[in-house]
Structure 1
């Protein structure tokens, strides 16, 4: 949970799903025994118990607050800034591709991205600082 970075644009649910999947994958890899999710677990060592032990409700609440703040700040960006940021960070497009789609030059697309990120830093800076206290 502490390694989750919401700025990467990965949905929290997908992050948890992958963490659980790789947790059990690594368990299987380390031991040659076969594990079943339904039978054969010692008391207190079931997948449900393991997952519940590793989930911190406070972390989830804090993360939801951070995501909510990010969404509100993101909506304050211009449409062009939003498009460049989503295409670059989430859709993994190059700035050149984004510029071509938008019908602008490479340098203009870079400016939209930079101004959008700078505005997010300003909008989130104080609020994120307060959350980490």
Structure 2
């Protein structure tokens, strides 16, 4: 029974990775490239190689910068619509729509892209961005 559970677990993990549920990035960790996470904000991003190398790298770099900024401050807006349809002679149908919007409004200073990789096999580009952590200054009253 335990062997069956182990095999089933391996199959589930394999299928989920194959379907993209658990995306594994092949970027080096920031500590590996000399940037400890206790001193630096670290952001990772990826792009689609099908769009071309230049666009893929640019998208991955922008995504890495956005990921870095989200760690500092991000405004998340969610809007949920729950529809229930009732028709005569039929079962009720339920439809749930969730829209999530993430807004990043931060000025980033001295951000460096420290790692760029292209994975031809997975058709993705990845980038790692770092920025030195500084004490956050409180916003001035408006």
Shorter-chain TM band: under 0.3
> Which one has a larger percent strand, Structure 1 or Structure 2?
2
> Which one has a larger percent helix, Structure 1 or Structure 2?
1
Task: Between the two structures, name the one with larger relative contact order (CA 8 Å, sep ≥ 6).
Answer: 2
- Please give the TM-score of this superposition, normalised by the length of structure 1: 0.24
